[in-house]
């Protein structure tokens, strides 16, 4: 299945819902960008400036099409799934080919998704297993640029500067309590999922160290040398 057909299929997923200020004034039917179908996936984000600072993040995404560099997935990020969840940021996803054309000054803002997929950290709760695997195969090669504009969701209003988000890129980097909470919420087992995806895709999860500075460039598979995957036995 090619990427465009896959995204069209994912458009059948539930639409993004957002809280209204007043039910009397709420739109009865979404218009504009929110009128198109969105799909939902969940992962654990970490701040590039502080890899210990991590968040369970709900993504609601639609595809912007027609650009010369291909589709751009545009995601609104929330701290939960309910109608009153806090909008905590945005994320854009682009193809590996588009990422390769960027200057290093821009590349430092983009993170890889290889470990999130192969490590079992990224899930798409509304999709069946077959569709989820097809979706993950696409996302695994894409790069994301994410900012949390509500950097501390415990505050009553957004406070402070936006956080540039990075991705978990190796075993042992995730906050285990946070991962356990996410797994419990969606009745999944990240470790079991990692084993299933390694078998499904025939590739071992990456082992890339967390960023040491804000200028660190993302890598998909290895810390040094040629950045290429290792096949599973």
* Per-domain residue ranges of the chain: 3-12+39-201
Contact 13, 41 (CB under 8 A): no
For 112-165, write each residue's pLDDT tens digit. 999 999 999 999 999 999 999 999 999 999 999 999 999 999 999 999 999 999
> Nearest-5° angle of CA 17, CA 23, CA 28?
55
pTM flag (> 0.95): no
2 pLDDT above the threshold of 90: no
For 163-187, write each residue's pLDDT tens digit. 999 999 999 999 999 999 999 999 9
For 14-58, write each residue's pLDDT tens digit. 333 334 334 454 556 778 888 888 889 999 999 999 999 999 999
What pLDDT, on a 0 to 100 scale, did the predictor assign at position 10? Answer: 55
Q: Burial level of 73, CB count in 10 A (0-12/13-18/19+)?
A: buried
CA-CA distances (angstroms) from residue 38 to 74, 109, 127, 158, 170?
A: 10, 25, 12, 25, 29
For 185-232, write each residue's pLDDT tens digit. 999 999 999 999 999 999 999 999 999 999 999 999 999 999 999 999
If one counts every other C-beta atom within 10 angstroms of the C-beta of residue 184, the result is 9
For 52-76, write each residue's pLDDT tens digit. 999 999 999 999 999 999 999 999 9
What is the mean pLDDT of the segment spanning 76-80?
A: 97
Question: Which element (helix H / strand E) includes 190?
Answer: helix 190-201
d(CA 93, CA 154): 27
89 pLDDT above the threshold of 90: yes
CA-closest candidate to residue 199, choices 129, 142, 96: 129
Alpha carbon 129 to chain centroid, angstroms: 18
What pLDDT, on a 0 to 100 scale, did the predictor assign at position 105? Answer: 98
If one counts every other C-beta atom within 10 angstroms of the C-beta of residue 158, the result is 16
Please give the span between the terminal C-alpha atoms of the chain, in angstroms, as a whole number.
Answer: 26
């Amino acid at each position: 299945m090619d990427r465009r057909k896959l995204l069209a299929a994912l458009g059948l997923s539930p639409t993004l819902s957002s809280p209204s200020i007043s039910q009397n004034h709420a739109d009865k039917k979404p218009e504009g960008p929110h009128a198109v179908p969105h799909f939902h996936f969940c992962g654990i984000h970490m701040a590039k400036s502080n890899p210990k600072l991590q968040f369970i993040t709900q993504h609601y995404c639609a595809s912007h099409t027609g650009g010369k560099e291909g589709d751009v997935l545009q995601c609104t990020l929330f701290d939960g799934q309910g109608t009153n969840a806090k909008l905590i940021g945005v994320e854009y996803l682009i193809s590996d080919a588009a990422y390769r054309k960027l200057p290093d000054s821009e590349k430092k803002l983009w993170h890889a998704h290889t470990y999130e997929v192969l490590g079992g950290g990224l899930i798409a709760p509304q999709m069946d297993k077959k569709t989820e695997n097809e979706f993950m195969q696409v996302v695994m090669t894409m790069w994301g640029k994410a900012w949390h504009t509500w950097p501390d969701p415990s505050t009553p209003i957004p406070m402070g500067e936006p956080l540039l988000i990075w991705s978990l890129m190796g075993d042992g980097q995730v906050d285990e309590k946070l991962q356990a909470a996410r797994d419990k919420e969606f009745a999944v087992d990240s470790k079991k999922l990692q084993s299933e995806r390694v078998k499904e895709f025939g590739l071992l999860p990456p082992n890339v160290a967390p960023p040491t500075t804000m200028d660190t460039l993302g890598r998909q598979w290895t810390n040094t040398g040629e950045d290429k995957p290792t096949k599973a036995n």
